[in-house]
């Protein structure tokens, strides 16, 4: 298939681009600059430069595609996602062309065994997601939502920013809160395979959680990253003061999920080392 992809130069998007090509798809890379177009131009990749918020413009390359995956990020993600879904609906309504939209695990709120059908309790930072996701999942288009956990791999992602980088600042590593909260996590390469599986196999109308099932606590991650160094608790109020209320709120969420829906339906099988393993081995250098 010829797949329209946004975010192809990003952390997750570049992994999805690689996975699409590995599965013999062609890609229309919808990018926002000539520099980005130059970066992704390759065999079986056709860059198309334009404003992703310009829905009439975006509708045309979408009509020329056999399916689409949205992974672009923006300073105003709500406005961007609204424009993307409007264009996808205009281009794909009444067809069987698959569209895969990006959500996130944080929108579920706290939970010890989160599954896709759970009632949601989104924190402020991501509360805007659900109304847009409902539009994706409504009848009329073959839309699906992938809700990734915290993404890691290749020395990047949130764990590198908040765990490994912090461990290099001196004699102690400051936790996020007391570190007892679990994080749902997934390696970026495994997540890319999930996007391709959902694109190829999902009937539409459903959400799929991206989790490798590890669900470590923040303390476990910090201790794995810091080796024999000192790990220090932080009061939640201090975490909020340091990181800001809305960002701290999502990082303090206690969440666990297995991601079994995609594993059972599509045979999606995470194969990459766990984050704890990589941290013990000296992440950011993946093995």
| More confidently predicted of 216 and 226 | 216
Instruction: Output the CA torsion sign for 80, 111, 279, 173.
Output: positive
Determine, yes or no, domain membership for 168.
no
Determine, yes or no, domain membership for 134.
yes
Q: What is the pLDDT of residue 280?
A: 84
Q: What is the pLDDT of residue 284?
A: 59
Determine, yes or no, domain membership for 172.
no
Q: Compute the mean pLDDT over every residue in the chain, rounded to the nearest whole number.
A: 93
**With 60 as the cut, is the pLDDT of residue 168 above it?**
no
| Number of structural domains the chain divides into | 1
Q: What is the pLDDT of residue 287?
A: 38
For the record, the structure tokens of 73 come out as: 């990020």
Angle 55-63/77-92 helices, nearest 10 degrees? Answer: 50
Determine, yes or no, domain membership for 271.
no
Determine, yes or no, domain membership for 220.
no
Cβ atoms of 73 and 10 within 8 Å: the answer is yes
Q: What is the pLDDT of residue 250?
A: 97
pLDDT band at 285 (very low <50, low <70, confident <90, very high): very low
Q: What is the pLDDT of residue 169?
A: 53
Highest mean pLDDT among 72-76, 193-197, 224-228: 193-197
Strands 185-187 and 255-257: unpaired
| More confidently predicted of 155 and 249 | 249
**With 90 as the cut, is the pLDDT of residue 162 above it?**
no
Q: What is the CATH number of the domain that holds 145?
A: 3.40.50.720
Determine, yes or no, domain membership for 225.
no
Which structural domain, as residue segments, surrounds residue 131?
2-151+188-211
For the record, the structure tokens of 126 come out as: 């991501």
Determine, yes or no, domain membership for 43.
yes
Q: What is the pLDDT of residue 172?
A: 77
Determine, yes or no, domain membership for 113.
yes
Q: What is the pLDDT of residue 174?
A: 86
Q: What is the pLDDT of residue 136?
A: 97
User: With b meaning 16 or more CB within 10 Å and e meaning fewer, what string describes 75-110?
Assistant: eeeeebbbbbbbbbbbbbeeeebbbbbbbbbbbbbe
Share of the chain above pLDDT 70, in %: 94
Integer angstrom CA distances of residue 164 from 10, 158, 186, 238:
21, 10, 17, 20
Digit-coded pLDDT (tens) for 54-108:
999 999 999 999 999 999 999 999 999 999 999 999 999 999 999 999 999 999 9
């Amino acid at each position: 298939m010829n797949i329209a992809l946004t975010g192809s130069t990003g952390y997750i998007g570049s992994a999805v681009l690689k996975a699409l090509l590995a599965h013999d798809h062609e890609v229309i890379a919808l990018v926002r600059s000539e520099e980005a177009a130059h970066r992704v131009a390759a065999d079986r990749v056709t860059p198309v430069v334009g404003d992703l918020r310009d829905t009439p413009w975006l509708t045309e390359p979408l009509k020329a595609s056999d399916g689409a995956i949205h992974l672009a990020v923006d300073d105003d993600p709500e406005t961007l996602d609204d424009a993307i879904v409007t264009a996808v609906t205009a281009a794909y309504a009444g067809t069987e062309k698959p569209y895969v939209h990006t959500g996130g695990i944080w929108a579920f709120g706290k939970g010890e065994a989160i599954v896709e059908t759970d009632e949601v309790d989104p924190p402020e930072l991501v509360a805007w997601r659900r109304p847009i996701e409902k539009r994706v999942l409504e009848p009329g288009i073959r839309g699906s939502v992938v809700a990734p956990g915290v993404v890691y791999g290749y020395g990047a992602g949130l764990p590198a920013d908040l765990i490994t980088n912090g461990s290099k600042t001196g004699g102690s590593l400051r936790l996020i809160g007391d570190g007892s909260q679990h994080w749902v996590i997934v390696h970026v390469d495994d997540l890319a395979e999930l996007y391709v599986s959902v694109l190829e196999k999902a009937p539409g109308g459903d959400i799929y959680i991206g989790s490798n099932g590890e669900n470590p606590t923040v303390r476990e991650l910090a201790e794995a990253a810091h080796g024999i160094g000192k790990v220090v608790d932080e009061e939640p109020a201090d975490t909020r003061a340091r990181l800001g209320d809305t960002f701290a709120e999502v990082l303090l969420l206690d969440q666990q999920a297995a991601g079994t829906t995609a594993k059972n339906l599509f045979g999606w099988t995470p194969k990459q080392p766990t984050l704890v393993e990589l941290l013990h081995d000296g992440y950011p250098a993946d093995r």
